[in-house]
Structure 1
Amino acid sequence: MEAKRARDSFAVLSSQVMPNDTNNHGTLFGGKLMMYVDNIAAIAANRHARELVVTASIDSVDFLRPIDTQSSVCLEAFVTWTHNTSMEVFVKVIAENLRTGVRMLCTTCFLTFVALDDQGKPTIVPKIIPESEEEKMLYSSAEKRYTQRKNRRGQAKAFTERLSLNKPWA
């Protein structure tokens, strides 16, 4: 399978923040932003794998700056690294005040997607070729994030198994 350039998976989503998208503080709902994040990351993963994909995990998301109704939100995503059937996707969220033109980076996060074949089974994905400085920086640190996710997933499984044994409602 031939490797693909990171930029070939690049995807962008822009949306104006409307009053019905906001919470009681007049800022974009975190859940609405997470929907945008998952959507744009899935598009990037689909572009890379050219297969169906499912979200396997979302790394921690820190909302660094609020996004208000006088803003648009722009999300950029691309695949940074692959491991057999999984892909790490980087998402950058930028808010732009539509009156002043000031743009601010509001959050970044990583998501992991798994490619699926027509039978719903994990399938191999192409490797990544990083070219820009940003792509190379993210690529070089990706294996460490992969190991951290793998460890975190093991801990989450063990925790879940403990919870299922002690059902307070049973």
Structure 2
Amino acid sequence: MEPKKARESFSVTSIHVLPNDTNNHGTFFGGKLMMHVDNISLTAATRHSRRLVVTASIDSVDFLRPIYAGSSVCLEAFVTWSHNTSMEVFVKIIDENLRTGVRQLCTTCFLTFVALDDHGKPTPVPKVIPESEEEQILFESAEERYLSRKKRKQQTKTFTSGLTLEKPWE
């Protein structure tokens, strides 16, 4: 399988934030933003693998500044690194005040996707070739994030194995 350049998976979308997209503070609902993050990431992962993909994890998302109604939000995503069947996708969320043209970084996050074959089973994906300085930095630090996610997943499995599924109100 031939490796692919990170830029080959580059995906971008813009959303005009309307009043019905906001909470009682007039800021963009975090859940709505995450829906768009997952969608643009899926596009990038599919472009890289040319397979159906599923979201395996979303790393923490730290909102650096609020996004207000009337803003345009630009989401940029690309595959930074791949393992055997999984891909790490980096997403950058940029807010633009449409009246002033001022653009600000609102947050970044990483998602992991797994490519599936025609039977719904994980299937190999191409390796990533980073070219730009940003791609290089993200590529070089990706394996550490991968190992951290693996550890976090095991901790989640351990934690949840002790949880009850009983209805506490009965």
Unaligned residue ranges in structure 1 (runs of 5+): none
CA distance in 2, matches of 1:20, 1:167: 37
Summarize deviations over 1:14-37 as a string: whole Å, max 9, x none.
Answer: 010001100000010000000000
Summarize deviations over 1:92-125 as a string: whole Å, max 9, x none.
Answer: 0000000110000000000000000000000000
Counterpart in the other structure of 1:153: 153
Counterpart in the other structure of 1:66: 66
Unaligned residue ranges in structure 2 (runs of 5+): none
Normalising by structure 2, we get a TM-score of 0.97
Q: CA deviation at 1:155?
A: 0.3
Counterpart in the other structure of 2:126: 126
CA distance in 1, matches of 2:138, 2:160: 31
Summarize deviations over 1:55-80 as a string: whole Å, max 9, x none.
Answer: 00000001111000121000000000
2:162 is paired with a residue whose SS is helix
CA distance in 2, matches of 1:18, 1:70: 6
Counterpart in the other structure of 1:34: 34
Equivalent position amino acid for 2:131 in 1: E
Paired-residue identity, % = 73
Counterpart in the other structure of 1:22: 22
Residues 1:11 and 2:11 are matched in the alignment:
yes
Q: CA deviation at 1:168?
A: 5.5
CA distance in 1, matches of 2:44, 2:160: 30
Counterpart in the other structure of 1:163: 163
CA distance in 2, matches of 1:36, 1:56: 16
CA distance in 1, matches of 2:136, 2:6: 10
Normalising by structure 1, we get a TM-score of 0.97
1:100-115 mapped onto 2 (5 Å cutoff):
100-115=100-115
CA distance in 2, matches of 1:162, 1:49: 36
Summarize deviations over 1:115-139 as a string: whole Å, max 9, x none.
Answer: 0000000000000000000000000
Q: CA deviation at 1:167?
A: 3.6
1:27 is paired with a residue whose SS is coil
Counterpart in the other structure of 1:57: 57
CA distance in 1, matches of 2:72, 2:28: 10
CA distance in 2, matches of 1:53, 1:160: 25
Counterpart in the other structure of 1:78: 78
Equivalent position amino acid for 1:85 in 2: T
Q: How many residues align?
A: 169
